[in-house]
Chain A
């Protein structure tokens, strides 16, 4: 195979090699997506799923914390949580890891299908996009949101190509699902808005160019997309929280406490090796765009820019950018480098070699799955206070627990309903003021004793290196009941 500029001689490749490349690419992606469960929120999602499953009711008030018990809680991911718990009941953590790896792979398969210059250039762009998003992968409802985001774009791109209205029919139905799976459903409206804006831009361009005869199909597209948007908004109302859920995503986005204290809402730090692929993706887009000078549709440019902005603002939005931008990158690179296939029939030996390669990749994926499944126990011990919780279960100390924010979900899974938590990853339930108070206590700022006492806290489970731990060690009122490298457990003496 040879890669040349557009004017050079054709390349030699063959269909079987192309298929092999695609199969290995997606098996590799699947293997990459297999990873132990380390998301702090996973645990309360699982417990919520169990509560819904057992009570046959969706909670509308906080059942897990003693600090905000009974306060309104919008369980916007209730369907995902049932799904998580259902899969867990059937196949434990292993099946959850497999399922979410499949969801991530399916997301990128949709991105690949939207991309031009398949398989090699699209494959390269896809790999870059996947590497850029890899730090956000995990067993979490957000992955389902990414899949639906990719599916919306796939359907809308199809419609832009074929102009067949039936392509859009699944969108309101998908919205009905999305709104009950994750609050990211609002992205669906954003995408539809961008496609409508893109068509309006085309219409204006056509008007300026005075090509009146071509206006009619564009106008029809705009009306069709507007109709789908209205239907989608109506579909989004079909959720347990009704119209209230429509404002929920914007409340999250405007929460100062979440934006300033929760890491995944921070801008990506390009000093970290894990975010370097995002920088490469941006540079590749800029470089290939300028060198290739491909005339892209305004919709694609706006998609890349809007989600590019979101990615630079918050690392949790990087996947949205990758999903939107990978097809653009593939198209741009295709203008700079061209690979011309020449179909050859593979001989018998090559067929066997290809089969062997695929089997090897499947084997590697299988081995990775086994390794990740076995790693799960250690991950739990390394990321969460597993041994300290064992101690609590064994000794049943009395009183309320003050816990680290990131461990609240794990405590809910392990200790609820016997113990309720002080705080957990549901920042929207607690609100900015409460989170600020929590940070003051965790930072050992003056008045922490009074705050703990006021809430009836007799147990403190925190990181050994925290400032509060330092103060508690020096306090005559508290004693260490348990400690290890991961956590330290204090019990009030009186």
Chain B
């Protein structure tokens, strides 16, 4: 049979996956200023710059005078290097560019997984965009964006392995090796493994294939054996990081702190009065409806994953993006049968699939990426407001820091913790901060921060303990109000965002 040669149009026309990539990529560039609505990117950029500059990975605290020389696990050093490289090339535009590429690749992978699971293209496109919208609550220029990407890489591979398909086992430890050096959410990978292993055991029991003992199961259940081997190798790979086993220790200590979980907003349960909560709720409802009415068999692992990730999403809103990346492909594949019941839509879908099968082009993905990089490099502002990317003046003490730079202050500072990363970005190494958003220095310092910020009894003792000479605090904070009436403190600078007080 003669093979048909693709025409030029086949190379020029974009495929749906190219459209997904381009849409997400360009959208992130448009809303890129929002990636800096958190102060932490500042710290990550500076950390990455230090690593790039010195070619060493510091494992001790450099930015907080209150935790000087304490162990500070470089849990995200690879992501920091990526952001710093972007920053070095194009300043904050480069950081946004890195984030846009990571997110665009992530959702292209999710789209691929939807298609692999036989989701009709007519649904796969809106579902991918819906998943992106669900994760958008946590689009910040921080290392966790890479976790979305690794999750999108890991879950399809594990799903294929669990189905008995051939997947090279070396891929798993490689993913985990990079992930463990990029972001702490790598520990969730083992939850995914646990679900697939438990699912496999459930299926074995259900099908009466389980044998008398664990050894026998491992011998006669090649899928389980592969799951266990891949998990074991990947677990070992996570120890290959600058601080070895202590990374696990610090991460587990961090996530088990109920004080932190109750203090930090992103660790709190979703608020269903807000639009982001609605997105989550609609997704839960859609997953239940689709799977309840589906005639297609779903595995025990899928059920466990869906239930476990729904619970994690309900527990902490920061888990919702990972919930989306893991669960949407699980149930989307069941939607084909519903589309088949509507012949007109099924016909449109088949037509799209037929056209897609002929297309060969990657042109649009490459072209749009290169054009955007070129535009940013020439100083073109691609954000929606055409103002360029920056930290928000209302949220961050941008003008106060300008003032500090022209009016240097001596002695230790006290700062509001969400501003820590931004202050490091602007003022390090001339100044070290009291606290920032990393929380690896333990609860005590955070409690002391809260004590001062709320002017709780004993706040003056903390001031004395750390020999604090000046404070940069939100204008509407309790401590700002107290200090204004305290003759021992002098208000040096004030704007709508921040007050700067100095001890007389």
A residues with a Cβ closer than 8 A to B are 259-260, 266-271, 279, 282-283, 286-287, 289-291, 296, 301, 305, 308-309, 312-313, 444, 467, 470, 474
Contact = CB atoms under 8 A, between A and B. Distances in A.
A289 B288 contact: yes
Query: Which 5 pairs across A and B sit closest by C-beta, in order of nearness?
Result: A290-B303, A313-B272, A270-B269, A287-B307, A267-B272
B289 interface: yes
Contacts of B258: 271
Contacts of A287: 303-304, 307
29 contacts: A259-B273, A260-B273, A267-B270, A267-B272, A269-B269, A271-B258, A271-B261, A271-B315, A279-B315, A282-B310, A282-B311, A282-B314, A286-B306, A286-B310, A287-B304, A289-B291, A289-B292, A290-B298, A290-B303, A290-B307, A291-B300, A296-B292, A308-B285, A312-B270, A312-B272, A312-B281, A313-B272, A313-B273, A444-B481
Contacts of A282: 310-311, 314
Contacts of A260: 273
Contacts, number: 75
B311 A305 contact: no
B268 interface: yes
A268 B485 CA distance: 39
Given A282-B314, A444-B481, A267 B277 contact: yes
Q: For chain B, give the interface size range.
A: 20 to 34
Given A271-B258, A444-B481, A290 B314 contact: no
A131 to B, nearest CB: 16
B86 to A, nearest CB: 35
B89 to A, nearest CB: 41
Interface string B284-320: 0100110110000010101110110011001100000
B478 A467 contact: yes
Contacts of B281: 309, 312
Nearest to A311: B272
Nearest to B306: A286
Nearest to B314: A270
B392 interface: no
A388 B311 CA distance: 44
Contacts of B314: 270, 279, 282, 312
Given A267-B270, A271-B315, A291 B277 contact: no
A305 B285 contact: yes
Contacts of B302: 290
Contacts of A313: 272-273, 277
B271 A266 contact: yes
Contacts of B271: 266-267
Given A266-B271, A286-B303, 4 more contacts: A289-B292, A305-B289, A309-B285, A474-B485
A147 to B, nearest CB: 26
B496 interface: no
Contact of B307 (A267, A269, A283, A474): A283
A265 B289 CA distance: 27
Nearest to A446: B481
- Best-buried of B307, B311, B481, B485 by chain A (most CB within 10 Å): B307
Contacts of B291: 289-290
A165 B232 CA distance: 63
Interface string B301-341: 01110110011001100000000000000000000000000
B453 to A, nearest CB: 13
Given A290-B306, A305-B285, A279 B292 contact: no
A37 B57 CA distance: 59
A286 B315 contact: no
Given A267-B277, A313-B272, A291 B478 contact: no
A291 to B, nearest CB: 6
B262 interface: yes
Contacts of A290: 291-292, 298, 302-303, 306-307
A279 B303 contact: no
A183 to B, nearest CB: 20
